[in-house]
Amino acid sequence: MVLCLGAILLLASPAVAADNGKADPDIKELLDATDDLQRGDSSMAKVEMHIKTARFERTVTMTAWSEGTEKSLMVINSPVREKGISTLKVGDNIWNYLPKVDRTMKVPPSMMSGAWMGSHFSNDDLVKENRLSEEFSYTLTSRPPDNPEQAWIIELKPKPDAPVVWGRVVVRIRDADRLPIDTRFYDEDNKLVRTLSYSDIRELGGRSVPAKMRIVPADKPGEFTEINYQELKFDVSIAPSTFTLQALRK
């Protein structure tokens, strides 16, 4: 879903063109476009991740490659202590390569809900790839003229058997560029859990995309994780062997 590994790899896909007509856009299209912001055939990105918690504040830079929604690889560039640590995702599995001890380690199921690299993203966030429109039923709750943000506000409720932890998700999509403003995640008690917001819309890899994404946990005031794209290329050619355990260990 939204916070897939692709969240860091904003991928090219035809964003829904701004519709000048007065008719409501297809909600499913809107949602899919938001999801697909981050999807594509292949990509390469240089990303800076800034993490602030009550205990520490740190910045991690990394390079990431992806192919489709199934495969991706991230390699830490800094800080020095963690340089070379790599995360490989293939399907639902994540492996970490730890250069210091020269070991490759599959992240066990018990750790999937754990924080990834000390951020507010969990390992689970990296592997979930389903589209919002597939797991949620949706309703349009507000149209552009009716709210100050001039946004399409869509409320999502999980489908009965959907494997999601949220009770409700609210997505706001700006009418002007059809890019997401933010997504709010609520738990089953309808309590806000976290907010993912998008900003800094820039031309990256030939696309106009939000270069900055910030996730804010609702229960930890002052904490956040922010992702900044420094470089983004789409449809790059990546050797298929890149996404193998052998390559991870290179």
In the complex, which residues of this chain contact another protein (CB under 8 A)? 51, 53, 55-56, 58, 79, 81-82, 85, 96, 98, 100-101, 103, 105-106, 108, 110-111, 115, 117-118
Tell me the two tokens of residue 58.
Answer: 């740190």
Between 41 and 82, CB nearer to another protein: 82
Between 91 and 108, CB nearer to another protein: 108
Residue 90 CB, nearest approach to another protein (Å): 18
Residue 48 CB, nearest approach to another protein (Å): 15
Residue 181 CB, nearest approach to another protein (Å): 28
Between 33 and 76, CB nearer to another protein: 76
Between 95 and 152, CB nearer to another protein: 95
Residue 58 CB, nearest approach to another protein (Å): 5
List, as one string, the DSSP characters of 145-196. Answer: GGSTT-EEEEEEEE-TT-----SEEEEEEETTT--EEEEEEE-TTS-EEEEE
Residues 108, 95 contacting (CB under 8 angstroms): no
